[in-house]
Amino acid sequence: MKDFSTDSQLLNALLQATPDPCFILDNNGKYIDVLGGHNREMYHDARHLIGKTLHQVLPQHIADDFIKQIYLAIRSAKLVTYRYSLSDDDVEGYKGTQGPVGKRYFEAHIFPFHSADDVIEQVVWMAFDITRLTNLINEKEQLVASLEQANRKLEQLSYSDGLTQVYNRRFFDLELERTWRIAMRKKKEIALIIFDIDYFKEYNDSFGHMAGDDCLKSIAKVATQVASRATDRVFRYGGDEFIILLESSQNTSISIAEKLISAVVKLDMQSHLSNEDKVTISVGVSSVLPSPSNQPYELLKSADLALYQSKEKGRNTITYNGVQLPK
């Protein structure tokens, strides 16, 4: 770096004229001089700092960080760029004087200052107020975060059934494909439980659609309580038909189906048939180990066929891959 000793008056005049402050500090963090920084909307008058050290005018942790940046500039003999924040409470002598109040953000350009014998003993610390820029960046980040959150909520709404609040058919189609790929990669079984409410049309005709809606919501709630593991998913497939997607084997899926059919009976909802009869469901279960030789729709078709067989065989029962299970 050029020796400025012969041009000190010119350099001093240039730095004094800058709207941003320029601090000359030695390798111990002592303020040798303070130049420029006359914009009182952005900076306090810092000339009272001359002759004091960073540790005398700043909180210790801030002064320690500043000293590290000075050492880095001196050791590397290169420009160091450093961003930091300060408030008028942080700097001795700023509180109550003319200048900005509250936290401000700065970017410092710190470069070594060579003495006449080319020994680096001091640094020039030029501070630039970037508060406005920082606030704009923060506002942008907050706006982006808010938009992302709103998009997630909209996506969630698009994947949810408005009445029962479980997932809808659209999401089922996506989730089945995704779960299938994961299970094929991990070489693990997946299963589908398809069920619908026995004689639901007659139930609606007898008690009305509002009662039918309440029935659907109660059944959906029970299904989410029974299929409660993190990987379990409950979907309303259409009308009174629901699907549970499980990352489970045959035995586990059958066990969940049995708990489900029992839990529905325990709801003790009166059937349209008589005061003694309760609302029940019919269930079809199918499981498979995904592979390139089979497809997700085959699993869905198998479970749907099992449901059909349960209804044909008397309802309020479970059929697994074509085999009716005892009640």
The pLDDT of residue 120 is 66
Residue indicated by tokens 């402050």: 21
CB proximity list for 210: less than 8 A, separation 6 or greater: none
Taking the C-alpha atoms of residue 87 and residue 105, their distance in angstroms, rounded to an integer, is 9
Q: What is the reported pLDDT for 4? A: 46
pLDDT averaged over 10-residue windows placed end to end, the chain, 327 residues:
52 70 93 88 90 95 96 93 93 87 94 70 92 92 90 83 94 95 94 96 93 96 96 95 94 95 94 82 95 92 94 91 56
Burial 155-165 (b: 16+ CB within 10 A, else e): eeeebbbeebe
CA distance readout (Å), 97 to 49, 85, 175, 209:
14, 19, 62, 73
Domains for the chain: give ranges and CATH numbers: 5-136 (3.30.450.20), 159-325 (3.30.70.270)
- In this structure, the number of other CB atoms found within 10 A of the CB of residue 206 comes to 14
Q: Give me the pLDDT at residue 118, please.
A: 61
Question: pTM of this prediction?
Answer: 0.59
Q: Which single residue is written with the structure tokens 């309303």?
A: 236
pLDDT one-digit tens code per residue, 56-83: 999 999 999 999 999 999 999 899 999 9
Could you please report the per-residue DSSP string of 136-170? HHHHHHHHHHHHHHHHHHHHHHHTB-TTT-SB-HH
What does the pLDDT read at residue 300?
Answer: 95
pLDDT at 242: 98
Q: What is the pLDDT of residue 175?
A: 94
